[in-house]
Structure 1
Amino acid sequence: MYHPKEGEFITIKSYKHDGELHRTWRDSMVLKTSDQSIIAVNDHTLVVESDGRRWVTREPAILFFHKHYWFNVVTMIRPKGVSYYCNLASPYVIDQEALKYIDYDLDVKVFPDGEKRLLDVDEYQYHRKKMGYSKDIDCILKRNVEILVDWIKEEKGPFSPEFVKLWYERYRQLTQRMS
């Protein structure tokens, strides 16, 4: 199993259930890697959509990926406060090419004031039928939405204010050392 080192840049690729490439993020900096998870950061990172459109992320974002949970978390550090964008997705795999996962459409957004919204339910229902998501996948995703909401309420893992401060500060230290 490939384990990128702290400060190393990796590519992140999300796919759809049918195997089609969905989105690619170039040059995400690894902050921590373990047997269970990877923490990385995007900051003005090039993103390429499956249709070829390109854009650049606007603010620093701490990324949390886990080997056992069917979600990943993007912690966006903005002037008005921290927002979270949580993708319901397969656990990641990583190799020399990229960190990879399957995006299952459903997202949970948490705003700086704590408001939570479940997004893209229509897209999930459409792709579930079109791509034939199994009942097992459906149950796993629904269970992981519950786990995710519990983590948000309990400020667990990436939802802890300490998590954001610690990993953003580590990112700043690494970028200062590299310049």
Structure 2
Amino acid sequence: MSIPTEGESIQIHSYKHDGHIHRVWEETVVLKATNNLVIGGNDRTIVTESDGRTWITREPAICYFHAKQWFNIIGMLRTDGIYYYCNISSPFVHDQGAVKYIDYDLDIKVFPDMTYILLDEDEYEQHRKQMNYPEVIDKILKRNVDHLIYLIQQRKGPFAPDFIDKWYGKYLTHRG
């Protein structure tokens, strides 16, 4: 797996377990990249859905991907605070100018006051049966939901008080 370079513009590709593309974010600026971690920033980027429809993100976002964790986190900077959208997913790979991962449907939405809700449990169950998620994957995903909730409650990692602001500041320096 290659490592993107700081300042480079990459795409984000989300797939489903069966290998079909789910969603593509057109442009994200790499703010930090190591073998295990990519932190990126974007604002008003084009997103293409699997059916070809496109939309544009409404606010600046900081994206956190880890090569050993089964989730990724998007911190969205809105006028009333930072909202987090957490995708339960495979660890990422960087390949051909894109961060790629498998989206496993379950999501956690975190509000500025750090309350949260687990989303899409019905969709997860439907896809788990349709695409025959192996039992080992099911267990890993559920363990990672618990780990993510722990990080939210403890305000650790990307949920630490200054994390998003720090990386957004860095994003602004790259944008010029």
Report deviation, 1:97.
3.7
Aligned to 2:31: 31
Cα distance in 2 for partners of 1:73, 1:108 equals 9
Aligned to 1:88: 88
Aligned to 2:118: 118
Report deviation, 1:113.
2.0
Residues 121-141 of structure 1 deviation map (CA, whole Å, 9 limit, x = unaligned): 000000000000111011000
Q: Any stretches of 5+ residues in structure 1 without a counterpart?
A: none
SS at match of 1:161: coil
SS at match of 2:162: helix
Aligned residues between the structures: 176
Aligned to 1:55: 55
Cα distance in 1 for partners of 2:38, 2:99 equals 9
Aligned to 1:22: 22
Report deviation, 1:2.
1.3
Report deviation, 1:90.
0.1
Query: Structure 2 length as normaliser, TM-score?
Result: 0.98
Report deviation, 1:174.
1.4
Q: Any stretches of 5+ residues in structure 2 without a counterpart?
A: none
Residues 110-161 of structure 1 deviation map (CA, whole Å, 9 limit, x = unaligned): 0112221000000000000000011101100000001101111111111012
Cα RMSD for the two superposed structures = 0.8
Name segments (4+ residues, structure 1) moved above 4 Å. Answer: none
Query: Structure 1 length as normaliser, TM-score?
Result: 0.96
Residues 32-73 of structure 1 deviation map (CA, whole Å, 9 limit, x = unaligned): 001110000121000000001000000000000000110000
Cα distance in 2 for partners of 1:93, 1:168 equals 23
